[in-house]
């Protein structure tokens, strides 16, 4: 897409990020507090690995990635199956592209930019949880196309969040969607 500009994610983008995230993922996915927290977790050694895609002034996509030292592996992670130490893995938290711009390389470019910044921070790999119920399982297909490898599947990954206010676009407030834990190893 030639008329797309990519920029580092900053607080100036928060309002549009929240709007797009809640439109795509469901109400309650992001709010003022969570976006500020997530954005801050992407910065290490003054390097920001969060990015946005803009057409003019309209935000059409964003990538939120946590620096390796700014996230904790939980019960949905399998670090014993990774070929890289957890402290060398960033976490690809969220990649969202406006429906009208999907399939045009925006998500891939956001991921590439984020990987380049994560590598500058010292990361050797990145872990993500992909939504297997995305239309045609497109989230997993996209991540696989970008070099992602399946680590493990996790049923009910977002169930607790749905009971705390997240309204899944498929399941409502009792989400039973499955996550594919995936990893990309950096060169």
What is the rounded distance in angstroms from the CA atom of residue 47 to the CA atom of residue 84?
21
What is the rounded distance in angstroms from the CA atom of residue 86 to the CA atom of residue 73?
8
Q: Evaluate if residue 40 carries a pLDDT over 90.
A: yes
Domain that holds residue 75: 5-185
- pLDDT digit string (tens) for 61-75? 999 999 999 999 999
Domain of residue 50, CATH code: 3.40.630.30
Q: Evaluate if residue 35 carries a pLDDT over 80.
A: yes
Predicted TM-score of the model (pTM): 0.89
Q: So what's the pLDDT on residue 1?
A: 54
Helical H segments across the chain, by residue range? 14-25, 32-40, 106-121, 138-145, 159-163
- The number of CA neighbours under 13 Å toward the Cβ of 148 is 26
Burial 8-40 (b: 16+ CB within 10 A, else e): bbeeebbebbbebbbebbbebbbeeeebeebbe
Number of domain units in the chain: 1
- 91: enclosing H helix or E strand: strand 89-97
Q: So what's the pLDDT on residue 158?
A: 67
Is the Cα torsion angle 6, 93, 153, 186 positive or negative in sign? positive
- pLDDT digit string (tens) for 108-162? 999 999 999 999 999 999 999 987 877 777 788 889 999 999 999 888 776 677 7
Q: So what's the pLDDT on residue 186?
A: 97
- 90: enclosing H helix or E strand: strand 89-97
Q: Evaluate if residue 102 carries a pLDDT over 90.
A: no
Phi, psi of 64 (to 5 degrees): -110, 125
DSSP, res 43 = E
């Amino acid at each position: 897409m030639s008329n797309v500009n990519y920029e580092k994610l900053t607080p100036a983008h928060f309002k549009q990020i929240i709007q797009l995230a809640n439109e795509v993922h469901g109400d309650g996915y992001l709010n003022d507090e969570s976006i500020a927290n997530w954005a801050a977790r992407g910065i290490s050694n003054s390097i920001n690995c969060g990015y946005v895609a803009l057409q003019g002034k309209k935000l059409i996509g964003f990538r939120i990635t946590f620096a390796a030292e700014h996230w904790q592996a939980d019960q949905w992670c399998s670090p014993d199956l990774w070929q890289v130490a957890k402290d060398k893995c960033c976490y690809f938290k969220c990649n969202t592209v406006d429906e009208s711009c999907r399939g045009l390389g925006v998500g891939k470019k956001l991921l590439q930019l984020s990987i380049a910044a994560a590598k500058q921070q010292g990361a050797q790999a990145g872990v993500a949880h992909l939504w297997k119920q995305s239309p045609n399982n497109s989230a997993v297909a996209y991540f696989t196309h970008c070099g992602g490898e399946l680590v493990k599947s996790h049923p009910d990954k977002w169930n607790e969040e749905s009971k705390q206010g997240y309204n899944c676009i498929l399941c409502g407030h009792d989400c039973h969607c499955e996550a594919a834990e995936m990893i990309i190893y950096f060169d």
